[in-house]
Amino acid sequence: MKKHRLTMYLRWALLAIFVVLVTYAAYLHQVLGGAKAPSIHALCPFGGLESLYQVFTTGSFINKIFAGTMTLFALTLVIAILFRRSFCGLICPFGAIQEFFAKLGQTIFKRKLVMPASIDKPLRYLKYVVLVVTVVYAWKTAGLWMAPYDPWSAYGHLSEGLDSIWQESAVGLIILGITLLGSLIFDRFFCKYLCPMGALYGIIGKPSPFKIVRNEIMCVNCGICNNNCPMNIDVQHSLKISSAECINCQTCILNCPKTGALNSQAGQTIIKPLTVIVLVMVVFFGSIFTAQVAGVYDLTPAALKAGEPITYDEIKGYMSIKEAAESSKTGLKEFYEKFKIPVSVPSETKMKEISTVSPGYDFDNIKESLKNLSNQP
């Protein structure tokens, strides 16, 4: 275990870096707007899955999703095929936040609490239901219908203030609270029970040659692997971990006191935990770099051409009413009428924030209803 301590710290450091980077990106999005900084939706591979049907049928992306999101989605699938749910165990910032909360919980409660099996087992299937329902509705509505219920979206908007999130996505905020409190008590609460992407990666990664294997002869049955597994997998009594629940985090190996009792294996080849982590990072960052060089890693909309009017469909939530009217070459009074904006709302208000001044105002819905109305001269 001691010899793996540095690898363990490296894993935590990487997870912490991913949390900091995404949190900062989400903050920049609030401050600079969607034209300059990507939204939390554009940065989440799930957006790629939600946009998939539209990409195949029309060649375009759903609102707030870009080529870079599709690239992230594709590369996480490649990671799942090669390394199973390593994205969850080594990269996902939302998974990392839950794990940090679990560590805090274990410090507070002085022990690791485990959900009773009679509740835990059926609840694990819930994420597959979430996967099917969210994807079917996203494909049907061609939009991010789930955003108001999405705890990750709520997290990404925390810098807007709780009042604003409560107005826009109260359910998402409540689920975020349940996830964080749940993780204090039960490690990786959202990953185990609710995450649609975890469900998908688990299925895709099933045939992967990558497995954790236990050597019965070397094992001293101390149970440390079971105590440390964030997904509560019974490592101690398995010879090979092929469960779709395993997030390939390497924690069991890193904590095992007996050298050779637990190993990561690809086929018959034993691969050290550090090598697994490095390989996953190389595939992740290597693919992003390649996509950037190939010009398919856009996470923000293309810059508007100076002087050219945009359509109503291209109006973004980060634009003020005045900017949106000017960009679409519509008179301010006519714009207020077309977008059904109450005259009491100041023209400096951002489109996505009109609902905070005028409760009940639904920018996305009104924009959708104006979709086919040309504002071109």
Binding site for ligand SF4 (CB under 6 A): 89, 212, 214, 219-225, 229, 231, 233, 235-236, 241, 246-252, 256, 258, 261-262
* In the complex, minimum distance from the CB of residue 126 to ligand SF4, in angstroms, rounded to a whole number: 18
* In the complex, minimum distance from the CB of residue 86 to ligand SF4, in angstroms, rounded to a whole number: 9
Nearer to ligand SF4, 235 or 315 (CB): 235
* In the complex, minimum distance from the CB of residue 43 to ligand SF4, in angstroms, rounded to a whole number: 24
Nearer to ligand SF4, 98 or 328 (CB): 98
DSSP state string for 79-105: HHHHHSTHIIIII-HHHHHHHHHHHHH
Nearer to ligand SF4, 52 or 235 (CB): 235
Nearer to ligand SF4, 91 or 256 (CB): 256
The secondary structure element, H or E, covering residue 192 is helix 189-193
* In the complex, minimum distance from the CB of residue 194 to ligand SF4, in angstroms, rounded to a whole number: 17
Nearer to ligand SF4, 175 or 224 (CB): 224
Strand partners, 320: 350
Task: Look up residue 193 and give its two tokens.
Answer: 């029970």
For residue 361, which of 317, 297, 323 has the smallest C-alpha distance? Answer: 317
* In the complex, minimum distance from the CB of residue 29 to ligand SF4, in angstroms, rounded to a whole number: 31
* In the complex, minimum distance from the CB of residue 278 to ligand SF4, in angstroms, rounded to a whole number: 16
* In the complex, minimum distance from the CB of residue 256 to ligand SF4, in angstroms, rounded to a whole number: 3
* In the complex, minimum distance from the CB of residue 16 to ligand SF4, in angstroms, rounded to a whole number: 18
CA–CA dist 156, 356 (Å, integer): 18
CB atoms within 10 A of CB 219: 18
Nearer to ligand SF4, 141 or 215 (CB): 215
Task: Look up residue 143 and give its two tokens.
Answer: 């939009």
Q: Are 166 and 176 in contact (CB under 8 A)?
A: no
* In the complex, minimum distance from the CB of residue 113 to ligand SF4, in angstroms, rounded to a whole number: 16
DSSP state string for 31-60: HH-TTTS--TTTTSHHHHHHHHHHHHHHS-
Contacts of 107 (CB under 8 A, 6+ apart): none
Residue located via tokens 């099996």: 117
* In the complex, minimum distance from the CB of residue 156 to ligand SF4, in angstroms, rounded to a whole number: 26
CA–CA dist 157, 115 (Å, integer): 30
Nearer to ligand SF4, 267 or 307 (CB): 267
Identify the burial level of 308 via C-beta atoms within 10 angstroms of its C-beta, where 0-12 means exposed, 13-18 middle and 19 or more buried. exposed
Q: Are 71 and 293 in contact (CB under 8 A)?
A: no
- Provide the total of helices (H) and of strands (E) in the chain, helices listed first: 18, 4
Nearer to ligand SF4, 234 or 362 (CB): 234
Contacts of 147 (CB under 8 A, 6+ apart): 41, 153, 169, 172
Nearer to ligand SF4, 188 or 316 (CB): 188
Q: Is 319 helix (H, G, I), strand (E, B) or coil?
A: coil
273: left (phi over 0), alpha (psi -120 to 50) or beta: alpha
Nearer to ligand SF4, 93 or 172 (CB): 93
Please say whether the dihedral angle defined by the alpha carbons of residues 40, 46, 51 and 52, taken in this order, is positive or negative: positive
